[in-house]
Structure formats: structure tokens, C-alpha cells
Chain A
């Protein structure tokens, strides 16, 4: 993996590294990727992929109905108590339209 690919991967990951940090980080990343490359050695021809183990059929889902709290304004305040920035019940985020 060259510097351009690493930079692209960092951007996809929404992460940034100082050049010094990247220099110390890169070898470990490389060794992990070298380790997982081992998987190329297994014959999987004709084997279906499995994204998750579905051990039971028909797990029920909740009805797709919005649950309105008894006091929506108070509940909103509780949920927004952890927000970095709010104003009048809204989340304040950086401007995306110039």
C-alpha cells in the first residue's frame, strides 16, 4: 500500500494522521493486512457466503409505528443533553451550504 492509497483509506475512514503518527501506524496496519491475506489460501469454490448466523427462522420485528413519548419536549431535552451543541431544540452542526 503506497502513500496515496493510505491517504485515500484515511479519508474514507474520516481520520487524519500526522506524518509521524502515520509512520508509526503504518507497519502495524501492514502486518494486520498481511495476516488476513492468509485467507486467500482456502478453497471456497461453490461455498455460499454467510453474513450472519441466522440460527432461528422468523425472528419477529416490532410494528413499524413511531412511539411518541408522553412529554416529547422533555424527552428531546433528555436526548439532547449529550449533544455537543444545541439551540432551541435543534442540533447545531457546521454549515454545509456556502
Chain B
């Protein structure tokens, strides 16, 4: 692997700016890495090599012109990145990891990806994922499982499985993910990278293939907190095309990144996230991190979030209910797979049955069950009430503390196939992340340390949860943790 691939995105951007490297050189190096590694890691569903080189050449030309005219280059000018395959990209196939969208080439661009290209980023390709973002391991992708660079017999987490694998394997400098119940933070934890899910409403969902609309949120995955902040700075902000995106101004997250004085920082440790039966090694790594904060002057308090126990069940009612409604659009009429039947209804049924994999089918069935007459009150209505309880409990906790720290996931990366036959076992991997989506809060996972499992070193992520709209706070605490922790890199 060439040295330039090891650069952080921030380093690469600095070297692009001072002319030490061109975007074409950087993009060629990334494409060579992808070509050499994708057969094994399977992070990319689609590699857009030609387009990437054209974008890189255009970026180099823009940079030259900007220099001549004294203008500033774009925030990500010339940087090769990749996007999860649920962001619609005009002219590039967008599958959402599903065979039902195997031939879908969008005629429009998602707001988030459009902002990245407008900032000068170069699109290397589209990243693997669990089908419709439903899964926590990448094994539900119709395009094969992506593999964890730390140990290729293990999953890279999910649903942003290709994003985590590609960033950790140096196959791009950063990537977008999406997070409905932990799909950015959990794979970031399992591959030793940084993943941030901002407050619900911080980014536009326009052009993102929908899973559960009240929970879905775009976010960044990168190898450092600074790089993640750099991407967030570009993709955040109100979009008239998404009425759930917030009109409030996006603060300067990058500028204030190093401004935290850990002394006096109030950290909450929720008792309910350090449960019996969780991996003792994971608990150990997280508690070591907390002790380092304490030694640096932070004040650690035990807090209570009593409804956590019911959050996962509530999430697995709300998310499938919304998914069942969102996925009703796949009927084989205007786009996507069509399998002809004798009449309209049979065509719907045959198209959907042939196009969806098992997990979307399971969630559609569960969603329709909990929404159906006679069951609505016991399931969906009750889950919405639990959501209120979760929001209230977090609000009360944030009156006592500045941030909440938990493990991102209860276990390190597991073996491919280990949990595939038991959906509930896989759902339990989301136990520490879904609450954040249910309450609409921002959360970040930052590599905390490693544990050894069956002779292999595996990363463990520290989850930092903040108040609504306080991405600045969790980014600063994440950056402070990087300094306390010291050097970190995925295996090279």
C-alpha cells in the first residue's frame, strides 16, 4: 500500500492544497487499492472508476483556476470518497443492497451526495450494505457480505458494512453511512474507525432510499474525528426538499474541535448499558477509557435510563412499521424489478417476492402485523409511548451531565455466519445504539481500544451521546479522547 493511502483525509487535503499530490494521483492510488482488495473485502457494489478519474481531473483543473483567481478551493476538493449505496447518485446505479433495485440508475442526486460533489469530493463508487439498511452485519446484502479488514472471517458490522470496511481498509478517505438504529456507529466500532450520527434533522434525507423515516439519518465515517467533522461540515444543513431537515445554522465544528478542557466535563454512565452478560472485555475497554477521562479531570456520574430495557423491542416495532409503509412503493411499475403475473395484483406479489431478500420480507411482515387492526394499540401505539419515555429520560439525564458514554456495541465483530440464523440475536447487537435514534440524539463512536478474541485483535468503540443539536460537544469529546488514547490505526 502506498504511503498516500495512509494519510488522513485532512492530511490528504493539505497535500492537495500545497500541490504535493494531485487529485488524479490520489484517485489512481485509491482505485488501485480497490482493484487489488475488493475481491476479498467486497466493500464496493459499484466502482465508478472512469467517472472518478474524470472528477479528479476536473478537480485538479478547478484547483488550478481557483489558485489563479485567488479563490478558495472546495472543502473536500480532490478527495476520493465513497458513498453507501442508498444515496441516489444520478447516472450511477443505486441498489440499496437489494436485487429489487439491481437495475436502478437514478435520474437525480441525493442532497447529501450532491453537497459532497459540490465541495469537490471525487466519487470512487457505491458501498455495500445490508439490504435496505436492515441488518447489523452486512450479511443481508444481496451482493455478498463485506469483510472486516481486522479479520476477514468476521463481519464489519452493519448496515453500513461497505462504508466501514472501505474506510478501515484504506479503500477511500471517508464515506457516508446512514443510521436508523446504529448503522453508522456499530460498524465503525467493529472496524476501528469513527462514525457519527447527527441529531435527527441535521442532514437532508432527500434522495436517500428510505427505511424508517422518523429514525433514518445521514452521517460520516472516517478514520479520525477531525475527518468525520470535515465531512459533517459539508453534508449538514437545511434542505427545502426535506421538511424534516432543520433550518438552524450549522456551527463551525472543525474550528472548535480542539477547544475542550476535559477538566470539569460531566460524563454520565447509564447503569442500564453496563448489563450482566455483556462482553467483560468490552466493558473493560470502555471503563479504562472513562478512567482516563476521570484522571484528566472529568467528573463521572452514574445515571439511570430505566426504559432502556424496552427500547429495543419498541425500536423493532417502530422501524418495521415504517419500513412496511416505505417499502410498499416497490411494486414493479415505475422502476425496479418487475415479474409479470396474470394481473396487477399478481405482478405486485411476484415482483416483491422475487426482489426482496428474507430480512426485508420479515420486517414488512412484522410491520404490517403491528399496524394491523386489533394489534395496533398493543404494539405500535405502545412503542410510540415508550419513545416518549426515552426522550424524557434522556432529557432528565442531560440536566445532570454534558455527555453520556456507553459501549457502542455489546460485542466485538463476530464471525460471518455466526448469528445469521437467529434474527433476534442479531437485533441484540443494536441494544446500545437504537435508543439514540428513538430519541433523535446525536451519537459518535470512536475507537476505544482492542480486545483479543480467539487469537485475533479486534477494535471496540466508545459511544458518546450528546444533547439535541450538540454535535459540537460530542465531536470535541471524541477528539479529546483521541488525544487521551494516543495513536490508532486499523491494520495496514
Binding site for B on A (CB under 8 A): 9-10, 12-17, 25, 28-29, 31-33, 35-42, 44, 47-53, 55-56, 58-62, 75, 78-85, 91, 93-96
The 8 Å CB contact of B333, one of A10, A41, A84, is A84
* Chain A residues with CB under 8 A of B352: 13-15
Docked CA distance A81–B107 (Å): 8
- Classify the interface of chain A: helix, strand, loop or mixed: loop
Q: Are A39 and B310 in contact, CB atoms less than 8 angstroms apart?
A: yes
Q: Are B248 and A49 in contact, CB atoms less than 8 angstroms apart?
A: no
Docked CA distance A79–B362 (Å): 30
Q: Are A16 and B214 in contact, CB atoms less than 8 angstroms apart?
A: no
* Chain A residues with CB under 8 A of B107: 75, 78-79, 81-82
Interchain Cβ contacts under 8 Å between A and B, 9 examples: A31-B424, A32-B366, A35-B313, A36-B379, A39-B310, A42-B307, A56-B246, A59-B243, A79-B107
Q: Are A28 and B362 in contact, CB atoms less than 8 angstroms apart?
A: yes
* Chain A residues with CB under 8 A of B364: 13, 15
B324 at interface (Cβ–Cβ under 8 A)? yes
Q: Are B333 and A31 in contact, CB atoms less than 8 angstroms apart?
A: no
Q: Which partner residue on chain B sits nearest A17 by CB separation? A: B353
B237 at interface (Cβ–Cβ under 8 A)? no
Supposing A32-B362, A85-B338, A95-B343 touch, asked if A47 and B385 sit within 8 A by C-beta, the answer is yes
Closest CB-CB distance, B244 to chain A, in whole Å? 6
Q: Are A32 and B316 in contact, CB atoms less than 8 angstroms apart?
A: yes
Closest CB-CB distance, A87 to chain B, in whole Å? 14
Supposing A14-B349, A38-B313, A55-B440 touch, asked if A33 and B369 sit within 8 A by C-beta, the answer is yes
- Can you list the 7 inter-chain pairs with the closest CB atoms, starting with the nearest? A53-B440, A49-B384, A84-B338, A52-B214, A44-B385, A82-B335, A78-B107
Q: Which partner residue on chain B sits nearest A48 by CB separation? A: B388
Q: Are B439 and A39 in contact, CB atoms less than 8 angstroms apart?
A: no
Q: Are A39 and B317 in contact, CB atoms less than 8 angstroms apart?
A: yes
Docked CA distance A36–B319 (Å): 12
The 8 Å CB contact of B314, one of A12, A39, A58, A62, is A39
* Chain B residues with CB under 8 A of A13: 324, 352, 361, 364-365, 368
Q: Are B104 and A82 in contact, CB atoms less than 8 angstroms apart?
A: yes
Closest CB-CB distance, A95 to chain B, in whole Å? 7
* Chain A residues with CB under 8 A of B213: 52
B240 at interface (Cβ–Cβ under 8 A)? yes
Q: Are A39 and B379 in contact, CB atoms less than 8 angstroms apart?
A: yes
Closest CB-CB distance, B340 to chain A, in whole Å? 7
